[in-house]
């Protein structure tokens, strides 16, 4: 034995770790934005008339959801340069997170769209609302409200998943931690502390999402 944990290394590395947190949040935000774009496009294609387009979307969703993110990011890391896309590791990580999150977003958004009944839209027109009003307050807002919990949950999942991007040395919290670890050999202290940094990030996100939900989506539905 004879090992005394020494958390002072963590204290000295604090600025680097906090920048790592910023990197993680940036990565997650960029990844989620891409995921939403893929999600909306995917939902449109998922219900398209062309059967081959539907098959591609279904295949994409099944492949992404049934393979590990680590293998996906390795694959993209080597595949993107082959198709002429030369990006730094962080940009590659954003694309990998976006593709992965996009597959889940397709399923979530699709559920939201299906939750709006046609009769509701017709009722809106019958009440004399014009097109923009119907879309805003009868389609978009209730659909967003319906998918809000799953979508924000997905965002937090994506933030936690982004730690795997350290495998291609993208700039985020875990790779910062790995660098500090290899400088100081204080593996346990560094990773223990960083785990709680992630916990703080997810709690902050959860609290933020709850406030937004309370502000925009707390109205009676019946």
Binding of other proteins by 188 (CB under 8 A): yes
Binding of other proteins by 129 (CB under 8 A): no
CB of 132 to other proteins, least distance (A): 36
Task: Please calculate the CA angle 20-22-27 and round it to the nearest 5 degrees.
Answer: 95
Binding of other proteins by 88 (CB under 8 A): no
| C-alpha to C-alpha distances, 173 to 13, 15, 191, nearest whole angstrom | 12, 11, 10
Ramachandran quadrant class, 99 (left: phi over 0; alpha: psi -120 to 50; beta: rest)? alpha
Binding of other proteins by 60 (CB under 8 A): no
d(CA 185, CA 173): 17
Which of 116, 150, 167, 179 contacts other proteins by CB under 8 A? 167
Binding of other proteins by 55 (CB under 8 A): no
Binding of other proteins by 160 (CB under 8 A): yes
d(CA 115, CA 23): 36
Q: Which stretch binds other proteins (CB under 8 A): 25-33, 61-69, 118-126, 127-135?
A: 61-69
Q: Considering only residues 190-209, where is the footprint of other proteins by CB under 8 A? A: 191-192, 194-196, 198-199, 202-203
Tally of CB atoms within 10 A around 199? 11
């Amino acid at each position: 034995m004879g090992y005394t944990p020494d958390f002072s290394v963590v204290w000295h590395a604090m600025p680097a770790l906090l920048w790592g947190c910023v990197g993680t949040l940036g990565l997650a935000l960029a990844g989620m934005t891409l995921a939403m774009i893929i999600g909306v496009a995917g939902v449109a294609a998922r219900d398209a008339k062309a059967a081959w387009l539907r098959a591609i979307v279904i295949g994409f969703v099944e492949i992404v959801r049934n393979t590990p993110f680590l293998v996906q990011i390795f694959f993209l890391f080597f595949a993107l340069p082959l198709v002429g896309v030369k990006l730094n590791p962080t940009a590659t990580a954003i694309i990998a997170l976006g593709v992965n999150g996009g597959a889940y977003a397709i399923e979530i958004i699709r559920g939201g769209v299906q939750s709006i009944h046609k009769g509701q839209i017709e009722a809106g027109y019958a009440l004399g609302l014009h097109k923009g009003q119907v879309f805003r307050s009868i389609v978009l807002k209730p659909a967003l409200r319906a998918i809000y919990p799953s979508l924000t949950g997905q965002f937090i999942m994506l933030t936690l998943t982004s730690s795997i991007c350290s495998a291609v040395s993208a700039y985020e919290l875990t790779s910062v931690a790995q660098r500090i670890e290899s400088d100081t050999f204080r593996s346990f202290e560094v990773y223990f502390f960083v785990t709680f940094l992630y916990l703080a990030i997810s709690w902050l996100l959860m609290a933020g999402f709850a406030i937004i939900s309370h502000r925009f989506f707390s109205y009676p539905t019946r």
